Amino acid sequence: MTRPLQCQTAAANSQESSFLAIIPAVIKSTVDSARLPIHNGTLAPVSAMQARLSLVTQMDTPANVAVKLTAFNLELYNPDSTSTNASTYAIPQPPTILSLAVPEQSLKGRSKLIIPEQDVTINNTAEFSKFLVNAFSANANVTIGVRAAATAKVAASSYPFTLDKNVSFAGLRSLAGLQVLSTAAVGNDTPATMLHGNMSLPNYSPLMIGLGDRVTYNVFSVDRNAGANSSTNSSEPFQIGHAIVPNLLLQPGNQTIDFEGRTDTQSVMDNLATLLHGMDKETGELGFSVVGDRAYVGNEHIPYLDDLMKNVKVQGTMSFCEAVKLVDVSGVPMDMMDLVDLDKVFDCMFPDDMPTE
């Protein structure tokens, strides 16, 4: 009776040994094939040297194998940056932007890999600014490098491994589609010198992105008819005004954001012909570009956000009725009146005064 039992025990031990022998290959295959798609997360400034981040991604293992990842640090870097020794690795690597603490995770089959929200020190602000500019200007996907030295546990055995991947997610397309929805004068000035209003602002990425408690912008003209003929190609942008956006937080998708503004009335009137020529000939829309000036968290200036805003070209539109609030129509010289669609002006002034049949 003992011999069959011994044979069964030996067979079981052999199967266990065979299983354990292939685990390193399973771990390597899991790591090599991991795409780490970004499902959601947060990215926001905390101070000039800190940022707040969280990420939810995915790492799949064989459905019948339970894997426990011990806690590890995940370094983020720009894959196209020049390799240096400014990382924790012996071989020169692109410099580390920042490092995220990843807590212990249990994986089995299709599994979420959750990196909880945390405030982290920015190791390299120039590289962080570069990543932000890439993310905001990307018309398709933006790529960020991630690397780590970690340990996977299967049953009672531990298997160290290294992770070094390029991870992609949807970029913000320079906030294409920004549109001023409404404006109203603060006080009784005509044209409106001090404004408050709201705008539609898209976020094409899966991340909730904060840009500061107070962000100031300079606003410039954009010729909506540029390219239609040679006479409009040469018009130079001029300053329309300034804007302040409080608590600028972009959720994934579209949102309505409040702003405060000040029109540079003298500049608008000095460049009135250019402004009127530049309005869309079909819709009357006014094009504009915004160039970030300064960003703050509390009272602290955040230079890496300045770098972002000054290096990403953001354009938007406002309707004819909103644009006409910037202009004192009564002050338009007679030789420019043919550039003003008076029917549209009256429609804006009396939107409910519709003809009756």
Residue 31 — very low, low, confident or very high, per pLDDT cuts 50/70/90? Answer: confident
Task: Name the nearest CA neighbour of 73 among 5, 10, 141, 151.
Answer: 151
Among 103-112, 129-138, 142-151, 227-236, the least confident range? 227-236
Tens digits of per-residue pLDDT, 223-254? Answer: 888 765 544 455 789 999 999 999 999 999 99
90, pLDDT greater than 90? no
Tens digits of per-residue pLDDT, 282-292? Answer: 888 899 999 99
Q: How far apart are CA 143 and CA 237, in angstroms?
A: 33
Cβ of 175: how many Cβ atoms within 10 Å?
Answer: 19
Tell me the angle at which helices 303-311 and 125-137 cross, rounded to the nearest 10 degrees. 30
For residue 23, the one-letter residue type is I
Chain mean position to CA 313: 13
Select the more confidently predicted residue: 326 or 13: 326
Q: How far apart are CA 245 and CA 175, in angstroms?
A: 15
1, 197, 299, 303, 341 from 131: Cα distances, Å:
69, 31, 24, 14, 45
User: Residue 320, class by beta-carbon neighbours within 10 Å (0-12 exposed, 13-18 middle, 19+ buried)?
Assistant: middle
29, 179, 280, 317, 324 from 328: Cα distances, Å:
68, 22, 19, 20, 8
Chain mean position to CA 223: 26
Task: Name the nearest CA neighbour of 59 among 27, 90, 86, 93.
Answer: 27
Residue 276 — very low, low, confident or very high, per pLDDT cuts 50/70/90? Answer: confident
**Two tokens, residue 250:** 């972009």
86, 134, 201, 339 from 254: Cα distances, Å:
38, 20, 6, 34
What is the structure's pLDDT at 261?
Answer: 92
For residue 197, the one-letter residue type is G
CB 86 within 8 A of CB 96: yes
CB 161 within 8 A of CB 107: no
Task: Name the nearest CA neighbour of 170 among 131, 206, 198.
Answer: 206
**Two tokens, residue 289:** 């570009």
**Two tokens, residue 109:** 């089959």
What is the structure's pLDDT at 320?
Answer: 86
Select the more confidently predicted residue: 18 or 175: 175
Q: How far apart are CA 241 and CA 248, in angstroms?
A: 19
CB 180 within 8 A of CB 201: no
Q: What is the DSSP string of 254-269?
A: EEEEEEEEEE-HHHHH
Q: How far apart are CA 187 and CA 195, in angstroms?
A: 9
Stated pTM of the model:
0.85
Q: What is the CATH number of domain 33-170?
A: 2.60.40
Select the more confidently predicted residue: 22 or 142: 142
Cβ of 334: how many Cβ atoms within 10 Å?
Answer: 6
Tracing tokens 């990425």 back to the chain, one arrives at: 205
Q: How far apart are CA 157 and CA 246, in angstroms?
A: 52
